[in-house]
Amino acid sequence: MADIRVQSADFDVAAEVAAVQAGGDAGARETGPHDIGAIVTFTGVCRNDGGRLVALELEHYPGMAEEEIARVAAEAERRWPLKGLCVIHRYGLIRPGENIVLVVTASAHRQAAFEAASFLMDYLKTRAPFWKKEHLADGTSGGWVAPRQEDDEATTRWD
Amino acid sequence: MADIRVQSADFDVAAEVAAVQAGGDAGARETGPHDIGAIVTFTGVCRNDGGRLVALELEHYPGMAEEEIARVAAEAERRWPLKGLCVIHRYGLIRPGENIVLVVTASAHRQAAFEAASFLMDYLKTRAPFWKKEHLADGTSGGWVAPRQEDDEATTRWD
Amino acid sequence: MKIVYFAWVRERVGKTEEIVTPPDDVRTVAELAGWLKGRGEEYAHAFAEPDIVRAAIDRRHVKPDAPIAGAGEIAFFPPMTGG
Amino acid sequence: MKIVYFAWVRERVGKTEEIVTPPDDVRTVAELAGWLKGRGEEYAHAFAEPDIVRAAIDRRHVKPDAPIAGAGEIAFFPPMTGG
């Protein structure tokens, strides 16, 4: 059911929400359409870090990126009664203000949608094979972004 | 900072996300624009309850609805470092598949955006003066929706 | 004193708002609800379970023991089901 | 045996992939990393802190003690920073 894409192109939040809603409705054989009551989206956006950053370069492991996101999505679907799920992760050069990642979750009630979206983001941060390199305002490379300890800790809370 | 609207008209999730992002950037005087790293949206949608329901009629307390949402929004801004916040709650006749409520939160990091959106929805459910009346498929009125005990419990977790 | 009603409280009372003049010994929201309850069958129905009916004074939620002195507008309504 | 590298591991090694033939006593991911580390300065730099470099076999995360027998593609990379 999960719609997973790894792409360099930008995405359209509204179009993905509409697709999740249409897909959920189409899948609702027993109760008729319209059993989605809650849709949560998370959009990760490139910050400029106080003017220091002009771009992030996102490298990924083609093939494994899609497969690892699919594994995390399948785990989310096992844990919560989702009626729709979409994850889009971009790669390539991304400038401040531009989108990096989108997660859309849909469920009958809000708690499942919120928790699943939060879970997906925590796992994507620490398991999806993407790496960010900084391009700085002074023209140099700021090197590779180091993982945040908070991200590892955020993931362990779902164990 | 919070953008709060109570209206019968539908809303456009993408337009509200763009407005929150533009507003956050405009407000970022010290660090330059683009200090939003995470945007969470919650969309509440009318379900048809297994085909039983043809519409919900949302009654509200004009004036108090806006003021109470503003009080909840102000509390969210005290608790989390938000860079943008929008709440839109509809009233009137709403059919299955149509939007009821939208919350958009923006912050530098994802945890604040997720928690603030979840907090806002929990509080809106139990504090915002709106009441739902059911219109049933058989042409009768199903009466007024009773509050769910889970919703009261969800609110107390923020105490 | 202006009273407004919403949802099934409004339906049972049969009006959206009214001006009332309760006696001086009606000092709190709970006492006002109790006094309204004695005004007829429709009110008795609306306030049959006083613990369930919520109140706001001047568009802010209040508890049953809130004083009504100086209130501009008092609202009675069922538990909220928005969101 | 095909090895692929990503991010700063790739930059330090100076190549995106290569075919290597480790000796028979190299049985685990950790042993493979240790053997690669001895192949020159660039590898020594890439695997200087072996606990930091992560690995995947056939596009699945694995632990350092994972056996490499039968692996189609082994990847080495820094901790992930996606999302």
Going from the N-terminus, what domains does chain B have, and what CATH number goes with each?
A: 3-156 (3.90.1170.40)
Residue B27's pLDDT band, with cuts at 50, 70 and 90, is low
Please provide the DSSP assignment of B44-95 as one string.
Answer: EE---TTTTEEEEEEEE-TTHHHHHHHHHHHHHHHHS-EEEEEEEEE-EEE-
Instruction: Find the residue in A nearest to B104 (Cα).
Output: A41
Residue D31's pLDDT band, with cuts at 50, 70 and 90, is very high
Asked if the Cβ–Cβ distance from A64 to D81 is below 8 Å, we say no
Residue A102's pLDDT band, with cuts at 50, 70 and 90, is very high
pTM: 0.93
Residue percentage of chain A with pLDDT more than 70: 94
Instruction: Specify the pLDDT at position B23.
Output: 85
Asked if the Cβ–Cβ distance from B131 to C6 is below 8 Å, we say yes
Residue B112's pLDDT band, with cuts at 50, 70 and 90, is very high
Which residue in the block uniquely carries the two structure tokens 């003066």? Answer: B129
Instruction: Specify the pLDDT at position A51.
Output: 87
Instruction: Find the residue in B nearest to C10 (Cα).
Output: B59
Q: Judged by CB atoms within 8 Å, which residues 55-94 of A form the interface with B?
A: none
Task: Report the pLDDT averaged over residues B67-89.
Answer: 97
Residue percentage of chain A with pLDDT more than 90: 74
C and D adjacent (3 or more CB pairs under 8 angstroms): no
Select the more confidently predicted residue: C29 or A23. Answer: C29
Instruction: Specify the pLDDT at position A140.
Output: 87
C-alpha of B115 from chain center: 13
Chain C hits for B89, CB-CB cut-off 8 Å, are 82-83
Given the cut 0.90, state whether the ipTM is greater than it: yes
Residue percentage of chain C with pLDDT more than 90: 95
Residue A24's pLDDT band, with cuts at 50, 70 and 90, is confident
Instruction: Name the average pLDDT for chain A.
Output: 92
pLDDT at A32 over 80: no
CA angle A8, A13, A18 (to 5 degrees): 120
Instruction: Name the average pLDDT for chain D.
Output: 96
Which residue in the block uniquely carries the two structure tokens 């700063």? Answer: D8
HSE (side-chain half, CA atoms, 13 Å) at C68: 25
HSE (side-chain half, CA atoms, 13 Å) at D1: 18
Chain B hits for C78, CB-CB cut-off 8 Å, are 131, 144
In tens, the pLDDT along A49-92 reads 888 899 999 999 999 999 999 999 999 999 999 999 999 999 99
B121 touches chain A (CB under 8 A): yes
Instruction: Find the residue in D nearest to A102 (Cα).
Output: D83
Interface of A with D (CB under 8 A): 44, 58-61, 63-64, 67-68, 89, 100-101, 121, 124-133, 143-147, 151
HSE (side-chain half, CA atoms, 13 Å) at B108: 9
Going from the N-terminus, what domains does chain D have, and what CATH number goes with each?
A: 2-77 (3.10.20.30)
Of the partner residues B63, B89, B144, the one whose CB lies closest to the CB of residue C82: B89
Write the single-letter amino acid at B10: D
Can you give the three-state secondary structure of B95-134, one letter per residue?
Answer: CCCCEEEEEEEEECCHHHHHHHHHHHHHHHHHHCCEEEEE
Q: Which residues have a Cβ under 8 Å from the Cβ of B97 and sit 6 or more positions away?
A: A21, A25, A33, A34, B45, B46, B48
- Pick from B65, B50, B52, B72: nearest CA to B134: B52
Instruction: Work out the minimum CA distance from A67 to partner chain D, whole angstroms.
Output: 8
Asked if the Cβ–Cβ distance from B48 to A40 is below 8 Å, we say no
Per DSSP, the three-state class of A32 is coil
Contact D50, D37 (CB under 8 A): yes
Which of A28-32, B128-132, D12-16, D41-45 is predicted least confidently? A28-32
Chain C hits for B44, CB-CB cut-off 8 Å, are 83
What are the φ and ψ backbone dihedral angles of C27, each rounded to 5 degrees? -110, -25
**Tokens of residue B96, six digits:** 């299955």
Task: Report the pLDDT averaged over residues B127-152.
Answer: 91
Instruction: Work out the minimum CA distance from D59 to partner chain A, whole angstroms.
Output: 5
Asked if the Cβ–Cβ distance from B131 to C75 is below 8 Å, we say no
User: In the complex, which subunits touch B with 3 or more CB pairs below 8 angstroms?
Assistant: A, C
pLDDT at B1 over 80: no
Which residue in the block uniquely carries the two structure tokens 């992930």? Answer: D80
Instruction: Find the residue in C nearest to B120 (Cα).
Output: C83
Write the single-letter amino acid at C54: R
User: In the complex, which subunits touch A with 3 or more CB pairs below 8 angstroms?
Assistant: B, D
Of the partner residues D59, D60, D77, the one whose CB lies closest to the CB of residue A131: D77
- Pick from C12, C17, C25, C15: nearest CA to C1: C17
Instruction: Specify the pLDDT at position B117.
Output: 98
Residue B114's pLDDT band, with cuts at 50, 70 and 90, is very high
pLDDT at B2 over 80: yes
In tens, the pLDDT along A33-57 reads 788 999 999 999 999 988 889 999 9
In tens, the pLDDT along D34-73 reads 999 999 999 999 999 888 999 999 999 999 999 999 999 9
Burial class (CB in 10 A: 0-12, 13-18, 19+), A87: buried
Question: Which residues lie across from D74 on neighbouring strands?
Answer: D3, D57
Instruction: Specify the pLDDT at position B133.
Output: 96
Instruction: Specify the pLDDT at position C48.
Output: 94
CA dihedral A141, A143, A149, A154 (to 10 degrees): 70
pLDDT at A133 over 80: yes
